Every structure is written in structure tokens, then in C-alpha cells.
Amino acid sequence: MTAHGSSDSCAAAALSFDWPALPQCPRIEPGVVHLVATRLPEGLVCGEDRWALLGEAESRRARRLRFDEHRNRWVAGRSLLKQLLARYARCEAADIRLRVGPIGKPFLDHPSDPDLQFNYTDSHGCLIYAFARGIEVGVDLEKLPRPTRYEGLARRKLSVVEQAALAGIDADEQEGVFLAAWTRKEAYGKALGVGVRYPMAEVTLCESFAEPRYVVIRGDGADHGLAQVQPPFAGIACVAAAAPAFRIEAYRIVIGDAINA
């Protein structure tokens, strides 16, 4: 694992990994977060095998999506989540049942494994899943390049400290770095279980974009660690966990192999 200061698309420092294939029966050690990345094939059409893994509410949600591309992407991402959970929970994917929290974050309902925590993110067909034991996790990803009118968002959503750090970045690199900051905001909110429903501008998640890790000291003992991550495709990601320090193991999975496993 290394930390690099820039890439073709983002100048924010990020941890870099080799992303080997995920073991068939992965084991998560204490204090470790697993990241699993994949890219959906172009023009993917989900068959009955994928839909069969969805619950009734999940199927209704998928059918409400207007565009076929978005519908197939959501079904693929959700069905793959269940197949990955089955590997960690040592069961069949068809046995996995999820419940949804008040803001839509999924939790494992069956089989009973309250220690197993997870989250996932999808950016234009690129996905990263996060798994841990005993600590809440959140992950977010932005596929790059992504043209963004970031100036107004930065003023509204970044803290004063974060805005100052962004202002120190060369102008032609600020867009990518803002998106890195945004992945921190989203991942942290997911780890808290509130999504984007928190006062983002009041919470500093980065003091320098040259540092890929940051610890949020809350004062109530509920400290969170964040790590900026370079995914195995063009983009920038962040994983957050309800622990000030954690180790990351990063893996890759091929979508066809996963579905046929």
C-alpha cells in the first residue's frame, strides 16, 4: 500500500493498493475494513437470476427507476451485494435478507450476524463495497472525470478549514480535489447512518489534501477515521469507519465471476 499525491484526474493524496481477487471465503480480522471493487460491463442487462435475489421491496424500487441503464445497474449492484454478503456470512445468496434503516442504509437481517457491517457505492457503473466486523462503515466513490459546478457547493458544504485547503490547490486541479472532499463528506455520513443529512459545513474532514487519512474527534468518544483511496479505475473514493484507526484490505471482483459463483 502506498500514498500518492496526484493522479491524472485528482491531486488529492490517496492510498493505493494492488486490488487482488477476493478470496472465495474471505475473513475479516479485527480492526480491518475490506474494500471490494468492480466495474459493471457496458450494456449489462440483468437476467432472472439477478432479479431473483431481490426482495419484494427491492424489486419495486428497481422497477420505479425510469431508465433501463439505471435499473440494470441498481439490480446488479444490489444482487452482487447479497452474493458478497453470502461469502462473508457463509451462506447462500438466496438466504440473504436485508432491512433498510430510516435513510435507506441497508443492514443484514438474515442470517443473524449483527457484527457484520457493510456499505456500498455506485458511480456510473463502478462499485466499491466496504465490509467490517464490529464497526460501522461508509464508503463513497466518484468516477472521474466528472464536470462539476463545484464553487457554490464548496462554499455551502465545506468547512472553513476545508475551503482554505481547497483554495491552496492549483485552479485547474480544484474540481477533482473538491470531489475527493465530497467523497469524505458522503462516506462519513454513511458511517454515521445519516447519509447527507448532517451539517456538512460544520464538520471538518480534511485539513490538508496532501494527507490521505484523517481522524474526526467528536468529543463524545465516537471518533471516526477516514481514508482517501485510489480505486482500481479512474476515480477517487473514501472509506470511513467508527474507529480512529483501521487497516484496509482491498480486493477486486469480476462481475461475471461473482454472479456465477
| pLDDT tens digits, 156-204 | 999 999 999 999 999 999 999 999 999 999 999 999 999 999 999 999 9
- C-alpha to C-alpha distance for 225 and 230, rounded to whole angstroms: 17
Q: What is the chain's alpha carbon radius of gyration, rounded to the nearest angstrom?
A: 18
Q: Which CATH superfamily is domain 2-41+115-260 in?
A: 4'-phosphopantetheinyl transferase domain (3.90.470.20)
Q: What would the mean pLDDT of 139-152 be, rounded to a whole number?
A: 94
Task: Report which of 240, 238, 242, 237 is spatially closest to residue 222, judged by C-alpha positions.
Answer: 242
Tally of CB atoms within 10 A around 84: 25
Break the chain into its structural domains and give their ranges.
2-41+115-260
Tally the C-alpha atoms within 13 A of residue 100's C-alpha that lie toward its C-beta.
10
Average pLDDT over residues 212-222: 87
Q: Which residues of 227-245 are buried (b: 16+ CB within 10 A; e: fewer)?
A: bbbbbbbebbbbbbbbbee
Q: Are 42 and 258 in contact (CB under 8 A)?
A: no
Q: How confident is the model at residue 222 (pLDDT cuts 50, 70, 90)?
A: confident
Flag whether pLDDT at 104 surpasses 90.
no
Q: Which of 120, 114, 20 is nearest to 76 (CA)?
A: 120
More confidently predicted of 101 and 49? 49
Segment 142-151 shows an average pLDDT of 93
User: CA–CA separation, 250 vs 229, rounded Å?
Assistant: 10
Q: What would the pLDDT profile of 51-94 be if each residue is shown by its tens digit?
A: 999 999 999 999 999 999 999 999 999 999 999 999 999 999 99
- pLDDT higher than threshold 90 for residue 242: yes
Q: If pLDDT is split at 50, 70 and 90, which confidence band does 232 have?
A: very high
Burial 162-178 (b: 16+ CB within 10 A, else e): bbebbeebeeebbbbbb
61: Cα separation from own chain's centroid: 20
What percent of the chain has a predicted confidence (pLDDT) above 90? 87
Confidence (pTM): 0.94
| Rounded distance between C-alpha atoms, residue 140 and residue 131, angstroms | 13
Cα–Cα distance measured from residue 59 to residue 18, given in angstroms and rounded to the nearest whole number: 35
CA atoms within a 13 Å half-sphere pointing along the CA-CB vector of 7: 25
Determine contact, residues 14/247, Cβ cutoff 8 Å. no
Q: Per-residue DSSP letters for 69-96? A: HHHHHHHHHHHHHHHHHHHHHTS-GGG-
Summarize the confidence of residues 109-131 as an average pLDDT: 96
